[in-house]
Structure 1
Amino acid sequence: MEGQTRGIMVKKRNIIYKVDLHDVLYISKNLRLSCIITISGEQHTFYAKFEEIQPFLNESFLQCHKSYIVNLDRVIALQAAWFWLENGENLPISQKRRKKSREYYQNYLRGNL
């Protein structure tokens, strides 16, 4: 995508750094505290709403729950209400987002996005 950023900008105190999108497994949030979990197991915790993070993401990212955004490049299976990740973790899919998440994931795998 032209003009698409390739990383998530993280602001923490007086430091600004970038987390490469390819390294992200998922992003979780609890109130305004967001946490990026990477494939190497690093956790980058900072204050931001999902609405502030989403402009940095591409089509491989899907909000599957009010508290989770998953990187579909790192998903190995979708089973009922769970995304299974390549590191062995699983993320819940909320009932409200289940149908849309299933359809989006299938279209993503087909290359229809």
Structure 2
Amino acid sequence: MKKNIIVKKNSVTYQIPPQNVVYMEKDLRRIVIHLSGMASSELVVYGSFHDLIPNLDERFLYCHRSYIINMDEIIIMSHNQILLSSNEGIYFGKDTYRKAQKTFEEYMQRKRKEFS
């Protein structure tokens, strides 16, 4: 069982099921968590990816200094963009693409083995 992602906003603690996170976006000192399957499509918290990353499972790809993506939500990965199930595109450079593509392919191979 995958553990929930725990974040705090003001004095409220949120437990977010990882499968409900489409991606996370860093904006200055804020983290915008883009959600699916929940009443609110975004949750904005203050913090850093540095504090959040150790609590994420293998489905999350830190593909750019500003983005962490749930690889289960990836529809298409091209040389400079990832298209997500939410129809949002994440753009990045060529060097980032190579690393992201390798990580994504390894993740998909592990998932295929789990279901075989």
Q: TM-score of the superposition, structure 1-length normalised? A: 0.87
Q: CA deviation at 1:50?
A: 0.3
Is contact 1:64–1:92 with CA below 8 Å preserved after alignment? no
Structure 2 partner of 1:21: 18
Q: Distance in 2 between matches of 1:67 and 1:12?
A: 20
2:33 counterpart letter in structure 1: I
Is contact 1:93–1:101 with CA below 8 Å preserved after alignment? no
1:91 counterpart letter in structure 2: I
Is contact 2:79–2:94 with CA below 8 Å preserved after alignment? no
Q: Deviations over 1:79-107 (max 9, x none)?
A: 11111111111112334422111111111
Question: Secondary structure, in 3 states, of the residue corresponding to 1:102?
Answer: helix
CA RMSD of superposed structures (Å)? 1.7
Q: Deviations over 1:22-72 (max 9, x none)?
A: 000000011210010012461010111001111221111011111110000
Structure 1 partner of 2:64: 65
Question: Is 76-85 or 92-101 further displaced after alignment?
Answer: 92-101
Q: 4+ runs of 1 displaced by more than 3 Å?
A: none
Q: Distance in 2 between matches of 1:31 and 1:102?
A: 26
2:31 counterpart letter in structure 1: S
Q: TM-score of the superposition, structure 2-length normalised? A: 0.85
Say which of 5, 10, 21 aligns to 2:7: 10
Question: Secondary structure, in 3 states, of the residue corresponding to 1:27?
Answer: strand
| Structure (1 or 2) with the greater helix fraction | 2
Which runs of no fewer than 5 residues in structure 2 stay unpaired? 112-116
